[in-house]
Amino acid sequence: MEYEIKHSGKFKYVAEGAGEPLILLHGLFGALSNFKDLVDHFKQSYRVIIPLLPLYDLTLIETSVSGLARHVTKFIEHEKLSNFHLLGNSLGGHIGLVYTLKHQNLVKSITLTGSSGLFENGMGETYPKRGDYNYVQKKTELTFYDPKVATKELVDEVFHIINNRMKALKIIALARSAIKHNLGDELQEIKVPVCLIWGKNDTITPPMVAEEFHKLLPTSELHWIDKCGHAPMMEVPVEFNTILTTFLNKHKA
């Protein structure tokens, strides 16, 4: 993604377009490129903001869902943002839910796709074979319905991360934190509109997870995308953007 990374205080972020803010939260192995099609589409009518989450920069004690949610809170306060839409994929959805539970007065809507928070097959806990490129490639391909979406560039990025000892430790810490930080007892407190966009072939947060989110979130609507895995905004961007456009239009000022 060839967007300028801005710096403000201790925060790094991308901001494109103008209009109501749409904040995107990436996942555990998330890169800015994951949101390329989404940004290109929505920057025409929204101010699309992607804070770069400090997945590998926090202390080990702070490397948790709660620690990243605090970072997002400080970023939003620093940028004086309000009346915004949140969207999170995988761990990013989990972080968005934790933030929303404490700041519903600022959030207009939240969209979750492949979100953790209830159950997930934690990828971070299943990478014992550092240095085994083929193993990493196969695990990365499991993110998608079509393994071809796991390009060499994407696999190389994951391979590089897990072969850095400290980064690998923090990935494991975040994956364990996501599993422990279960939101099942709190989700009914969320009253803002929620859009669930889920791949029917997601093996990391399977369809039953989406159904449970839908049951526990009283203001949610659930949309399925067939032949799609854990990252619909990457794998089927046109269909994803169509669903999201319809949802946001209902809740736009």
pLDDT tens for 170-209 read: 988 998 999 999 999 999 999 999 999 999 999 999 999 9
Q: How many domains does the chain have?
A: 1
Does a structural domain hold residue 126?
no
**What is the Cα–Cα distance from 12 to 51, expressed in whole angstroms?**
6
Q: Are 248 and 21 in contact (CB under 8 A)?
A: no
* Residues of the domain holding 16: 6-117+183-250
Does a structural domain hold residue 134?
no
What mean pLDDT comes out for the span 34-48? 95
Three-state DSSP class for residue 30? coil
pLDDT tens for 91-131 read: 999 999 999 999 999 999 999 999 999 987 754 455 446 67
Q: Kindly report which listed range (44-48, 80-84, 128-132) carries the lowest average pLDDT score.
A: 128-132
What mean pLDDT comes out for the span 214-224? 97
Query: What integer best gives the mean pLDDT of the chain?
Result: 92
Instruction: Could you list the beta-strand ranges (E) of 20-160.
Output: 20-25, 46-51, 84-89, 107-113
Does a structural domain hold residue 55?
yes
> Residue 127: what pLDDT?
47
pTM: 0.94
**What is the Cα–Cα distance from 196 to 225, expressed in whole angstroms?**
11
Q: What percentage of the chain exceeds 90 in pLDDT?
A: 74
> Residue 168: what pLDDT?
86
Of residues 93 and 135, more confidently modeled:
93
Three-state DSSP class for residue 153? helix
- CATH classification at residue 245: 3.40.50.1820
Does a structural domain hold residue 239?
yes
Does a structural domain hold residue 98?
yes
Does a structural domain hold residue 135?
no
Does a structural domain hold residue 129?
no
Q: Which residues contact 20 (CB under 8 A, 6 or more apart)?
A: 46, 47, 83, 84, 85, 108, 252, 253
> Residue 124: what pLDDT?
47
What mean pLDDT comes out for the span 41-62? 94
Does a structural domain hold residue 221?
yes
pLDDT tens for 2-22 read: 788 999 999 999 999 999 999
Q: What percentage of the chain exceeds 70 in pLDDT?
A: 96
Nearest to 240 by CA among 74, 39, 20: 39
**What is the Cα–Cα distance from 65 to 92, expressed in whole angstroms?**
9
> Residue 122: what pLDDT?
58
